[in-house]
Structure 1
Amino acid sequence: MADTALTARQHSPLAHAADRLAAATRSSGGAVRLAELPFLAQVNVRLDGKSPAADAVGLALGLQLPLEPNTVVRAADLTAVWLGPDEWLVVGRPGAQRDLESRIRMAAGDGPVSVIDVSAQRTTILVTGPRARDLLSHGCPLDLHPRAFGPGRCAQTMLARTQVVLVARDEARAGFWVLVRSSFAAYLTDWLLDAAVEYG
Protein backbone atom coordinates (compact mmCIF):
# COMPACT_ATOMS: atom_id res chain seq x y z
CA MET A 1 0.00 0.00 0.00
CA ALA A 2 1.30 3.45 -0.86
CA ASP A 3 2.32 5.67 2.02
CA THR A 4 -0.29 8.46 2.20
CA ALA A 5 1.03 10.20 5.32
CA LEU A 6 1.63 13.90 4.92
CA THR A 7 5.21 14.86 4.21
CA ALA A 8 7.04 18.16 4.03
CA ARG A 9 7.45 17.68 0.27
CA GLN A 10 3.76 17.38 -0.52
CA HIS A 11 2.11 20.20 -2.42
CA SER A 12 -1.60 20.59 -2.82
CA PRO A 13 -3.00 20.77 -6.35
CA LEU A 14 -3.92 24.42 -5.77
CA ALA A 15 -0.90 25.65 -3.79
CA HIS A 16 -0.01 27.90 -6.72
CA ALA A 17 -3.47 29.52 -6.63
CA ALA A 18 -3.69 30.42 -2.93
CA ASP A 19 -2.91 34.11 -3.49
CA ARG A 20 -5.43 34.39 -6.34
CA LEU A 21 -8.14 32.75 -4.24
CA ALA A 22 -7.45 35.15 -1.36
CA ALA A 23 -7.47 38.12 -3.76
CA ALA A 24 -10.86 37.07 -5.17
CA THR A 25 -12.26 36.93 -1.65
CA ARG A 26 -10.97 40.45 -0.93
CA SER A 27 -12.15 41.93 -4.23
CA SER A 28 -15.67 40.56 -3.75
CA GLY A 29 -15.92 42.29 -0.38
CA GLY A 30 -16.80 38.95 1.19
CA ALA A 31 -19.66 38.22 -1.22
CA VAL A 32 -17.82 35.02 -2.10
CA ARG A 33 -14.92 33.33 -0.38
CA LEU A 34 -12.80 30.75 -2.15
CA ALA A 35 -10.16 28.62 -0.47
CA GLU A 36 -8.63 25.20 -0.86
CA LEU A 37 -8.95 22.67 1.95
CA PRO A 38 -5.97 20.49 1.01
CA PHE A 39 -5.15 16.94 2.05
CA LEU A 40 -8.48 16.01 3.65
CA ALA A 41 -8.62 12.28 4.35
CA GLN A 42 -11.08 10.67 1.95
CA VAL A 43 -12.00 7.00 2.21
CA ASN A 44 -14.44 5.35 -0.18
CA VAL A 45 -16.62 2.70 1.52
CA ARG A 46 -18.86 0.15 -0.16
CA LEU A 47 -21.07 -2.26 1.77
CA ASP A 48 -24.70 -3.16 2.33
CA GLY A 49 -26.16 -0.17 4.14
CA LYS A 50 -28.74 -2.32 5.93
CA SER A 51 -26.26 -4.92 7.15
CA PRO A 52 -24.88 -5.44 10.66
CA ALA A 53 -21.50 -4.44 9.21
CA ALA A 54 -22.88 -0.99 8.35
CA ASP A 55 -24.17 -0.59 11.90
CA ALA A 56 -20.78 -1.66 13.28
CA VAL A 57 -18.94 0.78 10.99
CA GLY A 58 -21.25 3.56 12.16
CA LEU A 59 -20.47 2.78 15.79
CA ALA A 60 -16.73 2.68 15.09
CA LEU A 61 -16.84 6.06 13.35
CA GLY A 62 -19.23 7.72 15.77
CA LEU A 63 -21.71 8.48 13.00
CA GLN A 64 -24.22 6.45 11.02
CA LEU A 65 -23.66 6.16 7.29
CA PRO A 66 -26.50 8.13 5.67
CA LEU A 67 -29.12 5.95 3.98
CA GLU A 68 -31.22 8.76 2.49
CA PRO A 69 -30.00 9.57 -1.04
CA ASN A 70 -27.88 12.70 -1.47
CA THR A 71 -27.48 13.43 2.22
CA VAL A 72 -24.55 13.98 4.54
CA VAL A 73 -24.03 12.98 8.17
CA ARG A 74 -21.46 14.83 10.24
CA ALA A 75 -20.04 14.17 13.70
CA ALA A 76 -16.95 15.66 15.32
CA ASP A 77 -14.26 15.81 12.63
CA LEU A 78 -15.84 13.26 10.25
CA THR A 79 -18.32 13.66 7.42
CA ALA A 80 -20.03 10.75 5.63
CA VAL A 81 -21.26 11.63 2.13
CA TRP A 82 -23.85 9.42 0.39
CA LEU A 83 -22.66 8.48 -3.11
CA GLY A 84 -25.02 5.58 -3.85
CA PRO A 85 -27.22 2.94 -2.20
CA ASP A 86 -24.13 1.03 -1.06
CA GLU A 87 -21.38 3.63 -1.38
CA TRP A 88 -20.13 6.48 0.82
CA LEU A 89 -17.21 8.87 1.03
CA VAL A 90 -15.93 9.33 4.58
CA VAL A 91 -14.03 12.62 4.90
CA GLY A 92 -11.80 13.44 7.85
CA ARG A 93 -8.94 15.62 8.98
CA PRO A 94 -5.70 15.57 6.96
CA GLY A 95 -3.59 12.52 7.62
CA ALA A 96 -6.40 10.45 9.16
CA GLN A 97 -6.94 8.11 6.21
CA ARG A 98 -4.99 5.14 7.56
CA ASP A 99 -6.79 5.30 10.89
CA LEU A 100 -10.16 5.55 9.12
CA GLU A 101 -9.37 2.61 6.86
CA SER A 102 -8.32 0.49 9.82
CA ARG A 103 -11.37 1.36 11.93
CA ILE A 104 -13.77 0.65 9.08
CA ARG A 105 -12.15 -2.67 8.14
CA MET A 106 -12.03 -3.87 11.74
CA ALA A 107 -15.64 -2.87 12.38
CA ALA A 108 -16.92 -4.56 9.21
CA GLY A 109 -15.23 -7.82 10.24
CA ASP A 110 -15.80 -10.64 7.77
CA GLY A 111 -18.69 -8.89 6.05
CA PRO A 112 -18.32 -7.99 2.38
CA VAL A 113 -16.82 -4.51 2.33
CA SER A 114 -14.60 -2.39 0.11
CA VAL A 115 -12.49 0.32 1.79
CA ILE A 116 -10.23 2.42 -0.44
CA ASP A 117 -8.14 5.47 0.42
CA VAL A 118 -8.92 8.01 -2.32
CA SER A 119 -7.40 11.01 -0.53
CA ALA A 120 -4.93 11.74 -3.33
CA GLN A 121 -7.64 11.56 -5.97
CA ARG A 122 -9.39 14.82 -5.10
CA THR A 123 -8.85 18.15 -3.45
CA THR A 124 -11.57 20.27 -1.86
CA ILE A 125 -12.48 23.85 -2.70
CA LEU A 126 -14.46 25.74 -0.07
CA VAL A 127 -17.00 28.17 -1.52
CA THR A 128 -18.73 30.40 1.02
CA GLY A 129 -20.26 33.84 1.30
CA PRO A 130 -23.69 35.36 0.63
CA ARG A 131 -23.31 34.85 -3.13
CA ALA A 132 -21.84 31.31 -3.01
CA ARG A 133 -25.01 29.70 -4.38
CA ASP A 134 -25.22 32.25 -7.17
CA LEU A 135 -21.61 31.64 -8.12
CA LEU A 136 -22.04 27.85 -8.27
CA SER A 137 -25.34 28.16 -10.14
CA HIS A 138 -23.51 29.73 -13.09
CA GLY A 139 -21.96 26.37 -13.92
CA CYS A 140 -24.03 23.70 -12.15
CA PRO A 141 -27.22 22.17 -13.62
CA LEU A 142 -28.71 21.43 -10.18
CA ASP A 143 -31.30 23.61 -8.49
CA LEU A 144 -29.17 25.01 -5.66
CA HIS A 145 -31.96 26.94 -3.98
CA PRO A 146 -31.92 26.15 -0.22
CA ARG A 147 -35.33 24.44 -0.50
CA ALA A 148 -33.88 21.96 -3.03
CA PHE A 149 -30.23 21.77 -1.94
CA GLY A 150 -30.08 22.93 1.63
CA PRO A 151 -27.61 22.19 4.41
CA GLY A 152 -26.71 18.53 4.71
CA ARG A 153 -27.34 17.75 1.03
CA CYS A 154 -24.82 16.39 -1.46
CA ALA A 155 -24.68 15.35 -5.11
CA GLN A 156 -22.35 13.99 -7.71
CA THR A 157 -22.80 16.54 -10.46
CA MET A 158 -21.09 18.70 -13.05
CA LEU A 159 -19.66 22.14 -12.37
CA ALA A 160 -18.26 24.02 -15.35
CA ARG A 161 -18.16 20.71 -17.29
CA THR A 162 -16.12 19.12 -14.50
CA GLN A 163 -17.33 16.16 -12.45
CA VAL A 164 -17.49 17.07 -8.76
CA VAL A 165 -19.01 16.00 -5.49
CA LEU A 166 -20.91 19.01 -4.15
CA VAL A 167 -21.67 19.18 -0.43
CA ALA A 168 -23.85 21.84 1.21
CA ARG A 169 -22.23 22.21 4.62
CA ASP A 170 -24.53 22.06 7.62
CA GLU A 171 -22.95 24.68 9.85
CA ALA A 172 -24.28 28.24 9.76
CA ARG A 173 -22.80 30.17 6.83
CA ALA A 174 -20.42 27.28 6.09
CA GLY A 175 -21.11 27.26 2.36
CA PHE A 176 -20.12 24.38 0.13
CA TRP A 177 -17.41 21.84 -0.37
CA VAL A 178 -16.54 21.20 -4.00
CA LEU A 179 -14.58 17.94 -4.18
CA VAL A 180 -12.83 17.82 -7.54
CA ARG A 181 -10.29 15.48 -9.06
CA SER A 182 -6.79 16.86 -8.64
CA SER A 183 -6.15 16.86 -12.39
CA PHE A 184 -9.13 19.19 -12.95
CA ALA A 185 -8.62 21.39 -9.88
CA ALA A 186 -6.62 24.14 -11.61
CA TYR A 187 -9.13 24.40 -14.46
CA LEU A 188 -12.10 24.56 -12.08
CA THR A 189 -10.33 27.15 -9.92
CA ASP A 190 -9.74 29.34 -12.97
CA TRP A 191 -13.42 29.03 -13.84
CA LEU A 192 -14.52 29.94 -10.30
CA LEU A 193 -12.19 32.93 -10.20
CA ASP A 194 -13.50 34.16 -13.54
CA ALA A 195 -17.14 33.65 -12.51
CA ALA A 196 -16.49 35.48 -9.22
CA VAL A 197 -15.37 38.65 -11.00
CA GLU A 198 -18.96 39.86 -11.30
CA TYR A 199 -19.20 40.03 -7.51
CA GLY A 200 -16.10 42.21 -7.22
Structure 2
Amino acid sequence: MADTALTIPRRSPLAHAADRLAAATRTSGGAVRLAELPFLAQVNVRLDAKGAAADAVGLALGLQLPLEPNTVVRAGELTAVWLGPDEWLVVGPTGGQRDLESRIRAASGDEPVAVIDVSAQRTTLLVTGPRARDLLAHGCPLDLHPRVFGAGCCAQTTLARTQIVLVARDEPKAGFWVLVRSSFAGYLTDWLLDAAAEYV
Protein backbone atom coordinates (compact mmCIF):
# COMPACT_ATOMS: atom_id res chain seq x y z
CA MET A 1 0.00 0.00 0.00
CA ALA A 2 1.33 3.43 -0.94
CA ASP A 3 2.25 5.90 1.78
CA THR A 4 -0.21 8.77 1.38
CA ALA A 5 0.93 10.83 4.37
CA LEU A 6 1.51 14.46 3.53
CA THR A 7 4.48 16.35 4.83
CA ILE A 8 3.36 19.84 5.69
CA PRO A 9 6.18 22.36 6.07
CA ARG A 10 6.41 23.95 9.49
CA ARG A 11 5.27 27.56 9.50
CA SER A 12 5.81 29.94 12.38
CA PRO A 13 2.90 32.01 13.75
CA LEU A 14 4.52 35.20 12.43
CA ALA A 15 5.96 34.00 9.12
CA HIS A 16 3.49 36.30 7.35
CA ALA A 17 4.82 39.32 9.27
CA ALA A 18 8.58 38.82 8.76
CA ASP A 19 8.85 41.46 6.03
CA ARG A 20 6.88 44.02 8.04
CA LEU A 21 9.03 43.42 11.13
CA ALA A 22 12.21 43.83 9.08
CA ALA A 23 10.85 47.00 7.44
CA ALA A 24 10.02 48.54 10.83
CA THR A 25 13.55 47.83 11.98
CA ARG A 26 15.02 49.50 8.87
CA THR A 27 12.78 52.57 8.95
CA SER A 28 13.31 53.22 12.66
CA GLY A 29 17.03 53.66 12.01
CA GLY A 30 17.77 51.06 14.68
CA ALA A 31 15.78 52.83 17.42
CA VAL A 32 13.60 49.72 17.63
CA ARG A 33 14.39 46.30 16.22
CA LEU A 34 11.66 43.67 15.99
CA ALA A 35 11.99 40.02 14.98
CA GLU A 36 10.39 36.67 15.63
CA LEU A 37 12.49 33.91 17.18
CA PRO A 38 10.39 30.97 15.98
CA PHE A 39 10.33 27.41 17.25
CA LEU A 40 12.42 27.85 20.40
CA ALA A 41 12.23 24.78 22.64
CA GLN A 42 10.08 25.60 25.66
CA VAL A 43 9.60 23.11 28.48
CA ASN A 44 7.47 23.83 31.54
CA VAL A 45 8.88 22.28 34.74
CA ARG A 46 7.14 21.93 38.10
CA LEU A 47 8.90 20.50 41.11
CA ASP A 48 9.65 21.21 44.77
CA ALA A 49 12.23 24.00 44.77
CA LYS A 50 13.57 22.75 48.12
CA GLY A 51 13.69 19.10 47.10
CA ALA A 52 16.61 17.06 45.80
CA ALA A 53 15.23 17.16 42.25
CA ALA A 54 15.79 20.92 41.93
CA ASP A 55 19.55 20.60 42.43
CA ALA A 56 19.76 17.47 40.28
CA VAL A 57 17.85 19.11 37.41
CA GLY A 58 20.07 22.19 37.70
CA LEU A 59 23.18 20.00 37.39
CA ALA A 60 21.73 18.09 34.43
CA LEU A 61 20.93 21.32 32.59
CA GLY A 62 24.12 23.11 33.54
CA LEU A 63 22.20 25.98 35.16
CA GLN A 64 20.57 26.50 38.52
CA LEU A 65 16.80 26.99 38.44
CA PRO A 66 16.19 30.56 39.68
CA LEU A 67 14.65 30.68 43.14
CA GLU A 68 14.21 34.44 43.41
CA PRO A 69 10.81 35.55 42.06
CA ASN A 70 10.74 37.10 38.59
CA THR A 71 14.34 36.28 37.71
CA VAL A 72 16.05 34.46 34.89
CA VAL A 73 19.18 32.30 34.83
CA ARG A 74 21.00 31.70 31.56
CA ALA A 75 23.86 29.32 30.75
CA GLY A 76 24.96 28.70 27.19
CA GLU A 77 21.93 28.13 24.99
CA LEU A 78 19.51 27.50 27.88
CA THR A 79 17.47 30.01 29.85
CA ALA A 80 15.40 29.18 32.94
CA VAL A 81 12.55 31.61 33.61
CA TRP A 82 10.93 31.75 37.07
CA LEU A 83 7.13 31.47 36.74
CA GLY A 84 6.21 30.61 40.33
CA PRO A 85 7.58 29.13 43.57
CA ASP A 86 7.55 25.64 42.03
CA GLU A 87 7.36 26.41 38.30
CA TRP A 88 9.87 27.34 35.60
CA LEU A 89 10.01 27.65 31.84
CA VAL A 90 13.22 26.27 30.35
CA VAL A 91 13.90 27.79 26.92
CA GLY A 92 16.45 26.31 24.56
CA PRO A 93 17.43 26.03 20.92
CA THR A 94 15.03 24.93 18.22
CA GLY A 95 14.35 21.22 18.27
CA GLY A 96 15.84 20.68 21.72
CA GLN A 97 12.62 20.02 23.63
CA ARG A 98 12.84 16.20 23.66
CA ASP A 99 16.41 16.30 24.93
CA LEU A 100 15.44 18.80 27.63
CA GLU A 101 12.48 16.68 28.72
CA SER A 102 14.59 13.50 28.97
CA ARG A 103 17.41 15.22 30.86
CA ILE A 104 14.97 16.73 33.38
CA ARG A 105 13.05 13.46 33.88
CA ALA A 106 16.24 11.43 34.26
CA ALA A 107 17.73 13.90 36.74
CA SER A 108 14.60 14.06 38.91
CA GLY A 109 14.68 10.32 39.58
CA ASP A 110 11.82 9.29 41.86
CA GLU A 111 11.07 12.83 42.98
CA PRO A 112 7.66 14.17 41.89
CA VAL A 113 8.10 16.37 38.83
CA ALA A 114 5.92 17.56 35.94
CA VAL A 115 7.69 18.18 32.63
CA ILE A 116 5.59 19.40 29.69
CA ASP A 117 6.70 20.45 26.22
CA VAL A 118 4.90 23.75 25.56
CA SER A 119 7.01 24.78 22.55
CA ALA A 120 4.01 24.97 20.21
CA GLN A 121 2.01 27.07 22.67
CA ARG A 122 3.98 30.30 22.24
CA THR A 123 6.23 32.12 19.86
CA THR A 124 8.89 34.62 20.86
CA LEU A 125 9.25 38.20 19.70
CA LEU A 126 12.63 39.85 20.14
CA VAL A 127 12.36 43.58 20.89
CA THR A 128 15.68 45.43 21.00
CA GLY A 129 17.13 48.86 20.33
CA PRO A 130 17.53 52.05 22.36
CA ARG A 131 13.76 52.70 22.38
CA ALA A 132 12.69 49.10 23.16
CA ARG A 133 11.67 49.92 26.75
CA ASP A 134 9.70 52.97 25.60
CA LEU A 135 7.88 50.88 23.00
CA LEU A 136 6.91 48.18 25.52
CA ALA A 137 5.93 50.78 28.12
CA HIS A 138 3.16 51.99 25.78
CA GLY A 139 1.13 48.87 26.53
CA CYS A 140 2.64 47.14 29.58
CA PRO A 141 1.48 47.98 33.12
CA LEU A 142 4.89 47.19 34.67
CA ASP A 143 7.48 49.78 35.55
CA LEU A 144 10.11 48.91 32.96
CA HIS A 145 12.78 51.33 34.15
CA PRO A 146 16.15 49.50 34.24
CA ARG A 147 16.42 50.06 38.02
CA VAL A 148 13.20 48.10 38.49
CA PHE A 149 13.12 45.70 35.54
CA GLY A 150 16.75 45.28 34.59
CA ALA A 151 18.67 42.53 32.84
CA GLY A 152 17.81 39.11 34.19
CA CYS A 153 14.25 40.04 35.24
CA CYS A 154 11.07 38.40 34.00
CA ALA A 155 7.34 38.68 34.62
CA GLN A 156 4.05 37.20 33.58
CA THR A 157 2.18 40.33 32.58
CA THR A 158 0.15 41.86 29.77
CA LEU A 159 1.12 43.87 26.72
CA ALA A 160 -1.70 45.55 24.81
CA ARG A 161 -4.11 43.45 26.91
CA THR A 162 -2.42 40.24 25.74
CA GLN A 163 -0.95 37.83 28.29
CA ILE A 164 2.79 37.47 27.83
CA VAL A 165 5.94 36.39 29.59
CA LEU A 166 8.39 39.30 29.40
CA VAL A 167 12.11 38.61 29.81
CA ALA A 168 14.80 41.30 30.04
CA ARG A 169 17.76 39.58 28.39
CA ASP A 170 21.09 39.72 30.18
CA GLU A 171 23.46 40.05 27.24
CA PRO A 172 24.58 43.59 26.35
CA LYS A 173 22.01 45.31 24.13
CA ALA A 174 20.00 42.09 23.96
CA GLY A 175 16.67 43.75 24.71
CA PHE A 176 13.60 41.72 25.56
CA TRP A 177 11.91 38.47 24.79
CA VAL A 178 8.12 38.73 24.53
CA LEU A 179 6.72 35.21 24.77
CA VAL A 180 3.16 35.28 23.48
CA ARG A 181 0.59 32.60 22.75
CA SER A 182 0.65 31.72 19.07
CA SER A 183 -3.03 32.59 18.62
CA PHE A 184 -2.39 36.18 19.83
CA ALA A 185 0.96 36.68 18.08
CA GLY A 186 -0.47 38.33 14.96
CA TYR A 187 -2.53 40.81 16.94
CA LEU A 188 0.38 41.69 19.23
CA THR A 189 2.72 42.13 16.26
CA ASP A 190 0.25 44.53 14.62
CA TRP A 191 0.09 46.47 17.89
CA LEU A 192 3.89 46.64 18.22
CA LEU A 193 4.28 47.79 14.63
CA ASP A 194 1.67 50.50 15.14
CA ALA A 195 3.23 51.63 18.44
CA ALA A 196 6.69 51.67 16.84
CA ALA A 197 5.50 54.11 14.14
CA GLU A 198 6.52 57.11 16.27
CA TYR A 199 10.16 55.99 16.08
CA VAL A 200 10.17 55.78 12.26
Give 1:64's aligned residue. 64
Q: Secondary structure in 1 aligned to 2:142?
A: coil
State the Cα deviation string for residues 84-132 of structure 1 (Å, max 9, x = none).
Answer: 0000000000000000000000000110100000000000000000000
State the Cα deviation string for residues 20-66 of structure 1 (Å, max 9, x = none).
Answer: 00000011000000000000000000000111110000000000000
Structure with larger Rg: 2
Q: Secondary structure in 2 aligned to 1:186?
A: helix
d(CA) in 1 for partners of 2:197, 2:162: 20
Letter in 2 for 1:57: V
Give 1:171's aligned residue. 171
Q: Secondary structure in 2 aligned to 1:56?
A: helix
d(CA) in 1 for partners of 2:50, 2:27: 48
Give 1:4's aligned residue. none
Alpha-carbon distance change, 12 to 144 in structure 1, aligned in 2, over 3 angstroms: same
Q: Secondary structure in 2 aligned to 1:66?
A: coil
Q: How does 1:39-118 map to 2 (within 5 A)?
A: 39-118=39-118
Give 2:188's aligned residue. 188
d(CA) in 1 for partners of 2:195, 2:49: 39
- Give the gaps of 5 or more residues in structure 1: 1-6
d(CA) in 1 for partners of 2:57, 2:8: 32
d(CA) in 1 for partners of 2:84, 2:73: 14
Structure 1 stretches of 4+ with a deviation exceeding 6 A read none
Letter in 2 for 1:144: L
d(CA) in 2 for partners of 1:51, 1:59: 14
Give 2:9's aligned residue. 9
Tell me how far 1:191 sits from its aligned partner.
0.1
How many residue pairs were aligned?
Answer: 194
Letter in 1 for 2:177: W
d(CA) in 1 for partners of 2:104, 2:23: 40
Q: CA RMSD in A?
A: 0.8
TM-score between the two structures when normalised by the length of structure 2: 0.96
Give 1:147's aligned residue. 147
Q: Secondary structure in 1 aligned to 2:133?
A: helix
